[in-house]
Structure 1
Amino acid sequence: MHAGRFLYRATARLMAVLMAFMSVALAQAEAQQRQKPPPLIRDAEIEGLLRLYTRPIFKAAGINPKAVKVYVLNDRQINAFVAGGQRIFINTGLLLQSDTPNEVIGVLAHETGHIAGGHLARMGVEIDSANYTKVIGMLLGLAAIAGGVAAGNGEVAQAGQGIMLGSQGLAQRNFLTYARGMEASADQAALKFLNATHQSARGMLTLFEKLARENIAVLADVDPYVLSHPMPMDRIHSLEIEAKKSPYWDAKDPPALILRHQLVQAKLTGFIGGAQAVMQKYPSADQSMPARYARAIAMFRRGDIKNALPIIDGLTKELPEDPYFWELKAQALLENGRAAEAVAPVHKALELLPGNGLIQILGAQAYIDTGSRENAQQAIKLLRQAQRSEGETVETYRLLARAYALAGDVPRAELATAEAALLMGDMKLAMEKARSAQQSFKTGTPEWTRASDVMSFAGR
């Protein structure tokens, strides 16, 4: 949660765009920086907040909000980037270290600028026009520079610059000039989108200033022409001049939005930071709603459900219309072996937020864990509803297998197991279970056809 590096962001984006062009050496360089990719975080509350942040920005950009997916990565770096078309990735580090919603919204507006401008597709054209080996050398140099910046090591950053300058020529300089122009274009687009939605660009500048202060020593001796982003202070100065022309420069985040932002930060601290991080950020004297939220999460996560529940109940009484407090209560009870008690709060959460796939899955887990055949039918209903928004996932099929087994429907339990196995890549199990299930279904029925499809794919 410390390095919101301009160069790290550039490298991440370049890596996503240029994967097909990477050599083994580049893959090794990236692997040294990051031993394994950070896991995705799925959470109804966080995703709901990000939709609230992005929906007006997407509309201002002329983009269908349903066409863009925003993913949260469990990564301490302050970073966000676009990859794989209309997909925005945002790190937990950015959410945790942002002081206001406006800071996050500004970054999301910038990334939306890349999507609206078709920058990833256009970058591919630039790559095609450059010499393959020069592009590889350029990326190796960028990776080394980014590694030096992320580690606060000026010598490593300068070494990366040397790799680029020593082995590359006009092609790589032209490419980086294009990349810097692309970043400047996204900045200008962000200003346009923020202005159209009556929001200030102050948060975006504040975040850029924060990153510039962290990187100023390392970037002091780096040639600006080997960077894929404009020099930080130059970038900020140019943006500030334009941003202050907006009539919304002094616009503030609504108090309700600030509270939601703080609650998401509290949730992340409780779940991924643990008890120690919660104590450091929210001392016992802090009785704010976010502080109590974080403490309740840390308590039930370490098994202290006795002290967690009164805090959660206090939150639900104080803000009964918040579905995520009810969701938390259900999760706390479920994870502490009290599934029957979890059913009521998850039902309340779904009343307040109907159609949310993640909460529907949580409700299905609660119903299944009660061990009741009657509740198994409720679980199946919720899981089928969840598949409309979440798609067909390993988790939903695993739970469906358990629910059908609890209901005594062995053929459908085996079919769901086969479908989960297929998604996991276990072709042997998928084939075995699908073949067994198909024998119980009448030829031509939907279940028989699905079993046939699983066997067909597994057989390949």
Structure 2
Amino acid sequence: MRAPVRRHWRHAVVALLIPALLAPTLAPRAAFAQSLPSLGQSSASDLSPATERRLGERIMREIRADPDYLADLLLSDYINMLGGRLVAATRKAGLDASQSFEFFVVRDARVNAFSLPGGFIGINTGLIVTTRTESELASVVGHETGHVLQHHIARMVGQSGQNAWLALGGILLGILAGVGARSADLGLGIAMGGQGLAVDRQLRFSRDAEREADRVGFQLLQAAGFDTYGMPAFFERLQRADSINEAGVPEYVRTHPLTTERIADMLNRARNTGYRQPEQSHEYAFVRARSLVLQQKSASDYAEIANAMRSQIRTQTAASVMGAWYAIALAEYKQQHWDAAREALTHAQQAFGGKGPGTPSLVVLDSDIARASGRAEDALRLARAARETFPLSQAADMAYADALIANRRVADASQFLQQQVTRYRSEPVWWRAMAGAYAAAGKRAKQHEALAEQYALQGQWMAAVSQLKMARAAGDADFYELSTIDARLHEFERRYKEDKEEQKELKQFG
């Protein structure tokens, strides 16, 4: 991890993983009917929803600036669709979900997931890859959603008698201070997940809260139409990995200790609800394959993945043939082997068969390969079709913007991207794309302005200030644009000073 980013993590408020799935007490079978432990009601001493959100947004600025934050729109689209499906089931499950949620993916091969204050939930690529069904993945996302829905962070603060988020940051500052001593190559996952047990010991988080998150997650899984057996099946497999090879223990087992009693609790609940065949998204297999490839970091890694997938196809050991071919296509694309990528993607499309118009992962990668290999018109045609078929897909929108630029339709791309940055204000990737479009159009001031907005979303205030100063000096901004630049410049300088003051206050608690 880059040194400045690691420093931000050590002095950020908290990159908080709620240690989940601590061993619950096994209840009598007659009491299994969705009963929840009593944790009491939120009180005036708890964090308010607004404060929780503010804390979460502060942490997310740090996360978005980290190299291991995976700003891949196909993965983001899918994980937010999956999480949104669980959140949408809250009313059916008799739960209140008045707050907003944001689900994101971290490039980390370790099997882990975590929740943050304010409705932010992170999923490691390693977790996605390790699951075998969409319901298994949903069971983990549901558990973390349960922590957020039940406001466990706020209740923890209320129980400890501390009613300020600065106090919460002070408690965790000492724990996070040790992160820098570990290998920088492990990325932000260490700060969020690797210290899970230490956080639990420091905060003495209630096992009742963990049991409540388990059961809320189970309710969401059932109400959303997933296979409820996915939860005990996945955790049991991780437990077996723990017992077989201590050196290869999944990170999820380290930070979320599993017991036979906890798994039995979920298994008995699944038996009581009865089995029903879930409808699994076709996109799941491709997202799983995409996560496997994108958690790699070098050309040799991509080549190794492609070779391994080809071997699995030849030996008929691939869990999903279409997913294996997709992984090969993406790995070849990352190595700029355009013909090999196109051939593998054709195999993936054929293995997918006549299951509708395709999936976002298939059509977007098809457009990306066409654009990268110099077939700009084909790329635009494919991207336009992707947008029409999947109107809610950010990935399809980005493919369309990229294809417009490849076809030298820079003005159209700039206009389209302006709509997207308005629609997705909190996602830096759109501002980065906007900067690229302005650069292609030769609009230097606007290019620097867009980069400033990207850095601001990542909490990199001085980098944002520097970009705005370059925008002001570019010489191609009119009077009104210069006024806007100056206003944003003063705003970012103020935010930088506020952040510095917050860090000083945090150190007082450390």
Query: TM-score, length-normalised on structure 1?
Result: 0.71
Aligned to 1:272: 295
Which is higher, the Rg of structure 1 or of structure 2? 1
Q: Aligned equivalents of 1:326 and 1:49: distance in 2?
A: 14
Question: Is 2:287–2:361's contact at 8 Å kept on the other side of the alignment?
Answer: no
| Alignment pair present for 1:239 and 2:266 | yes
Report Cα offsets for 1:258-300 as digits up to 9, x if no partner.
x432221222233435232243245242593222212212222
Q: Aligned equivalents of 2:338 and 2:487: distance in 1?
A: 45
Please give the residue correspondences for 1:66-145 in structure 2 after superposition, counting only pairs within 5 Å.
Answer: 67-128=100-161
For residue 232 of structure 2, the aligned residue among 197, 205, 214 is: 205
Superposition deviation, residue 45 in structure 1: 3.2
Question: Is 2:387–2:393's contact at 8 Å kept on the other side of the alignment?
Answer: yes
Please give the residue correspondences for 1:11-410 in structure 2 after superposition, counting only pairs within 5 Å.
Answer: 12-13=17-18, 39-62=68-91, 64=97, 67-128=100-161, 176=204, 178-216=205-243, 232-247=259-274, 250-254=275-279, 256-257=280-281, 259-273=282-296, 274-283=302-311, 284-285=313-314, 286=316, 288-313=321-346, 315=348, 318=353, 320-336=357-373, 338-370=375-407, 372=408, 375-391=409-425, 394-407=428-441, 409=443
Aligned to 1:7: none
Change (3 A) 1:245 1:13: same
Change (3 A) 1:253 1:45: farther
Describe the SS at the equivalent of 2:105: strand
Question: Is 2:432–2:450's contact at 8 Å kept on the other side of the alignment?
Answer: yes
Question: Is 2:405–2:437's contact at 8 Å kept on the other side of the alignment?
Answer: yes
Superposition deviation, residue 364 in structure 1: 2.1
Report Cα offsets for 1:108-166 as digits up to 9, x if no partner.
2211211121111112223447999x9779969x99xxx9xx9xxxxxxxxx99x99xx
| Cα root mean square deviation, aligned | 4.2
Change (3 A) 1:88 1:394: closer
Question: Is 1:418–1:431's contact at 8 Å kept on the other side of the alignment?
Answer: no
Describe the SS at the equivalent of 1:346: helix
Q: Aligned equivalents of 1:199 and 1:392: distance in 2?
A: 30
Superposition deviation, residue 96 in structure 1: 0.4
Aligned to 1:431: 469
Q: Aligned equivalents of 1:215 and 1:113: distance in 2?
A: 25
Superposition deviation, residue 68 in structure 1: 0.6
Aligned to 2:485: 451
Q: Aligned equivalents of 1:421 and 1:211: distance in 2?
A: 38
Code of the residue aligned with 2:307 in structure 1: it is M
Change (3 A) 1:339 1:193: same
Change (3 A) 1:339 1:205: same
Share of identical aligned residues, percent? 23
Aligned to 1:31: none
Question: Is 1:61–1:116's contact at 8 Å kept on the other side of the alignment?
Answer: no
Change (3 A) 1:183 1:305: same
Question: Is 1:275–1:298's contact at 8 Å kept on the other side of the alignment?
Answer: yes
Q: Aligned equivalents of 1:395 and 1:386: distance in 2?
A: 10
Q: Aligned equivalents of 2:132 and 2:113: distance in 1?
A: 16
Q: Aligned equivalents of 1:381 and 1:135: distance in 2?
A: 47
- Larger relative contact order (C-alpha < 8 A, sep ≥ 6)? 2
Aligned to 2:42: none
Change (3 A) 1:346 1:65: farther
Change (3 A) 1:431 1:109: same
Change (3 A) 1:361 1:450: farther
Q: Give ranges in structure 2 of 5+ residues lacking alignment.
A: 1-14, 21-46, 48-64, 187-195, 247-253, 297-301, 495-510
Report Cα offsets for 1:189-246 as digits up to 9, x if no partner.
1222233334332111112112222334899xxxxxxx99675112112332333211
Describe the SS at the equivalent of 1:251: coil
Question: Is 2:16–2:116's contact at 8 Å kept on the other side of the alignment?
Answer: no
Q: Give ranges in structure 1 of 5+ residues lacking alignment.
A: 1-9, 19-35, 151-159, 165-170, 220-226
How many equivalent pairs are there?
390
Superposition deviation, residue 392 in structure 1: 5.9
Code of the residue aligned with 2:128 in structure 1: it is L
Q: Aligned equivalents of 1:137 and 1:459: distance in 2?
A: 25
Report Cα offsets for 1:29-76 as digits up to 9, x if no partner.
xxxxxxx96712233433333234333321232455981111111111
Q: Aligned equivalents of 2:76 and 2:370: distance in 1?
A: 23
Report Cα offsets for 1:393-421 as digits up to 9, x if no partner.
55434443443454455654454455456
Code of the residue aligned with 1:237 in structure 2: it is A
Q: Aligned equivalents of 2:286 and 2:255: distance in 1?
A: 35
* Structure with the largest fraction of helix: 1
Question: Is 1:422–1:454's contact at 8 Å kept on the other side of the alignment?
Answer: no
Question: Is 1:184–1:230's contact at 8 Å kept on the other side of the alignment?
Answer: no
Superposition deviation, residue 184 in structure 1: 0.8
